[in-house]
Amino acid sequence: MSNHTEDKNHKKPSYLDFQISTYAWKPDIDYKKHPEQYKVGKGEQGVLICEPYKSEIGPLWRFKNPVIAQESAEKIFELFKGYLSKNDFVGADLARKYLQMGYTRARRYANYKGGKKYDKDKDYAPLDRGTGTDEKAAAAAIFYGFWKRAQGFEDYQQRKLEWKKRLG
């Protein structure tokens, strides 16, 4: 039996109604030169837009299997610590977001074959869970550990609170 319903009352993915014009993060801003324009936001927001960090961190972000995920998470975590040591909160926050995204994306592939959660041919009805791989679950667990380590840094937590109070 399928995990999704055939009725039209299911919630469609939020990205279908995405409005770039109202998004707080912009691809044409250099956030190293203009960190005051960075917003912390929720979860992983802005992670695939904010330059030059996207170009610095993004190429390191991989979760194909546990070995690759371990190497990736370690490198991103080192960048996270380096950004903090340089008083670069924006870089640290985005590195933390990449670690979080490593967890969430690998979990999606662990839960859904091919990482697809919705069936666009059936009005975006949710697909069946449990069709993913254990390899991706292991990769997700690696990223989860590094994400929580980064999130737990007292220095990072304090800077995040101050940033949100001051700039959002």
Mean pLDDT of successive 10-residue stretches along the chain, which has 168 residues: 46 65 86 96 91 98 96 98 98 98 91 71 68 84 98 96 93
Q: Where are the beta strands (DSSP E) in 6-159?
A: 118-119, 125-126
Residue 49 belongs to some domain of the structure: yes
DSSP string, 55-69: HHHGGG---SSHHHH
Residue-range definition of the domain harbouring residue 142? 25-33+44-167
Residue 160 belongs to some domain of the structure: yes
Q: 51 forms bridges with which residues in the sheet? A: 30
Q: Are 98 and 47 in contact (CB under 8 A)?
A: yes
Measure the CA–CA gap between 36 and 70, rounded to whole angstroms: 32
Residue 20 belongs to some domain of the structure: no
Measure the CA–CA gap between 36 and 163, rounded to whole angstroms: 9
Residue 3 belongs to some domain of the structure: no
Residue 74 belongs to some domain of the structure: yes
Residue 29 belongs to some domain of the structure: yes
The number of domains in the chain is 1
Residue 11 belongs to some domain of the structure: no
- The reported pLDDT for the residue numbered 2 is 42
Residue 5 belongs to some domain of the structure: no
